[in-house]
Amino acid sequence: MKQRSLFISLTFLIAFFCLAQARAYAWESTQANEKEVAPPRKLEYDNKLFRTLPVWQDSSIYIESDLDNDTGNEVIIGFIATYKPESEDEEEEKVQFAPPKKREIIPVENHAFYQIYKRSLDGRFHVVKTISGMDRLGKIEVFDIDAQNHKALAIFSLGGEHYTDLSIYRWLDGGYKLIFNEGSSKAITMDTKQKPVRVLVGASGDKQKIYDIM
């Protein structure tokens, strides 16, 4: 009797665990399917063909916001893409009976990109702006740039050990215009509560550069 009770208990626990796992997987799948846009598999930049790798996608950025003040949201994504030049070894492998050669080490270039997508009349999202970052993925922030709730997009690009580059884009005259850009190895902060928005950029010593963005 005890063995039977133990068997029933174990069966119940296993069934409960499988059900919990299935629900977790279904929830994750639903969350993934809710995203309207995914990073492109290939992207041309600076006469180079970059590719996105699955290993980088867990750290990608996804935001929905109305950037151009119309009736629908745009999608803003940030992701890392990789450029690997074709080596002489790879070209020789295409030639039959090529003599063996010491394999060369090919430098791999990782680059951050930020893209804005807009829904078109066909119901799908299409990229309308691609912005290049630096070698590491930074962060993006959408904020009200004036009292009329017009939006602007701030991109904090990271490079090297401590360097940060801040670029701010706004929808103007039918396109996304760069209205501010500054970089520093010191801290860069934004005060978006006051209008105009104030940007504080660290400079040499304890000094700060102050900019009012409109």
pTM above 0.85, yes or no: no
Q: What is the pLDDT of residues 76-135, one digit of tens each?
A: 999 999 998 876 444 555 555 556 555 656 678 999 999 999 999 999 999 999 999 998
Bigger pLDDT: 35 vs 65: 65
pLDDT > 90 in the chain, percent: 59
Instruction: Answer whether residue 2 shows pLDDT above 60.
Output: no
Residue 5 domain flag: no
Q: What is the pLDDT of residues 46-56, one digit of tens each?
A: 999 999 988 77
Residue 139 domain flag: yes
Task: Please give the single-letter amino acid code of residue 149.
Answer: N
Residue 103 domain flag: yes
Question: Are the beta carbons of 167 and 176 closer than 8 angstroms?
Answer: no
Residue 29 domain flag: no
Are β-strands 151-159 and 136-144 bridged in parallel, bridged antiparallel, or unpaired?
antiparallel
Instruction: Mention every residue, 6+ apart, whose C-beta is less than 8 A from residue 70.
Output: none
Are β-strands 48-51 and 61-65 bridged in parallel, bridged antiparallel, or unpaired?
unpaired
Report the 3 state secondary structure along the chain: CHHHHHHHHHHHHHHHHHHHHHHHHHHHHHHHHHCCCCCCCEEEECCEEEECCHHHHHHCEEEEECCCCCCCCEEEEEEEEEECCCCHHHHHHCCCCCCCCCCCCCCCEEEEEEEEEEECCCCCEEEEEEEECCCEEEEEEEEECCCCCCEEEEEEEEECCCEEEEEEEEEECCEEEEEEEEEECCCEEEECCCCCEEEEEECCCCCEEEEEEC
Residues pairing with 116 in the sheet = 76, 129
Structure tokens at 209: 């550069």
Determine the structural domain holding residue 144 and report its residue range: 35-213
Residue 100 domain flag: yes
Residue 11 domain flag: no
Residue 126 domain flag: yes
Residue 28 domain flag: no
The number of distinct structural domains making up the chain is 1
> Is the Cα torsion angle 38, 165, 43, 79 positive or negative in sign?
negative
Instruction: Mention every residue, 6+ apart, whose C-beta is less than 8 A from residue 104.
Output: 87, 88, 89
Bigger pLDDT: 25 vs 194: 194
Among 16-20, 30-34, 41-45, 97-101, the range with the most confident prediction by mean pLDDT is: 41-45
